[in-house]
Amino acid sequence: MAKKNRSTKGNSQYKEDVLFFRMSVFFALCGVMIFFFIHLRDTVDLASDLYIMSKKLSYRIIASVLALASIAYFVLCRIKKKDESEKTFSSANIAAIVCYVTCGFLYWGTTYSPRYDALITLTVAFTLLYFIYNIYHRDFFAYSASNLVFLSTAWLFSRRGLKFVIASALFLALCAYMCFYTYKVSAKLKGKKDKCIFEPVFFSFVLTVLFISLSKFIGVPFITSSVTMIAIIAQYVLGGIYYTVKLIREAK
């Protein structure tokens, strides 16, 4: 029995070491990509070459096939219920990295003046989501993912053009779904499926809709898109403090 307990303890420690390695790699990749975007912004020739390459149909097909293959591998591992906790990189890690690079590559081919600030923000946001997923409970991860969708929606409403109008409408519907999804995750963790409970995501959703309405449709002068996004980020930070305190209390 003692030998089995030692084996279980050692196996658990190995899994923690693997997770720490993965998080370290993702943190390093985030730093590399931020440096790459800053360098790309200041190097016109490299940005032009990448734009020409991303416009070619053959490269787009290759990138899309790789992304779909990584997703298929992830789904296959989920169907077979493989335990990937001891692997250096899981199928989810591989799919996330491949899809991130593919989406960035395809985005580059759709515009000659990409938004570097948006790319850097999304890179940092995705890395933080990965850390939150592995450190906090699932309710804070759902809350964080929802706020990323809210922030993206506010950004889309600040842009002009038919494709942004369509994307804004779709993301607004996604905001409502993410709000419901976060509520269900929190209710499941609390064991109160049949009871109405207030969640911070409700306030985030109402605040997002309110500021978008004031800035985009009503046209309040001092409520700009920048103010809207700052407000969303500020309330998310407050929500993060709430979930952190909650996690510390549960750990005691």
What pLDDT is attached to residue 6? 46
Closest Cα partner for 31 from 127, 116, 154? 127
pTM: 0.86
What pLDDT is attached to residue 3? 46
Rounded to whole angstroms, the Cα distance separating 240 from 140 reads 8
- One-letter amino acid identity for 19? L
What pLDDT is attached to residue 38? 93
Rounded to whole angstroms, the Cα distance separating 194 from 29 reads 42
Tens place of pLDDT for every residue, the chain, 252 residues? 444 444 455 578 888 999 999 999 999 999 999 999 999 888 888 888 888 899 899 999 999 999 999 999 999 999 998 989 889 999 999 999 999 999 999 988 887 778 888 899 999 999 999 999 999 999 999 999 999 999 999 999 988 888 888 999 999 999 999 999 998 898 888 775 455 567 889 999 999 999 999 888 887 788 888 899 999 999 999 999 989 998 888 876
What pLDDT is attached to residue 199? 82
DSSP letter for each residue of 156-184: HHTS-SHHHHHHHHHHHHHHHHHHHHHHH
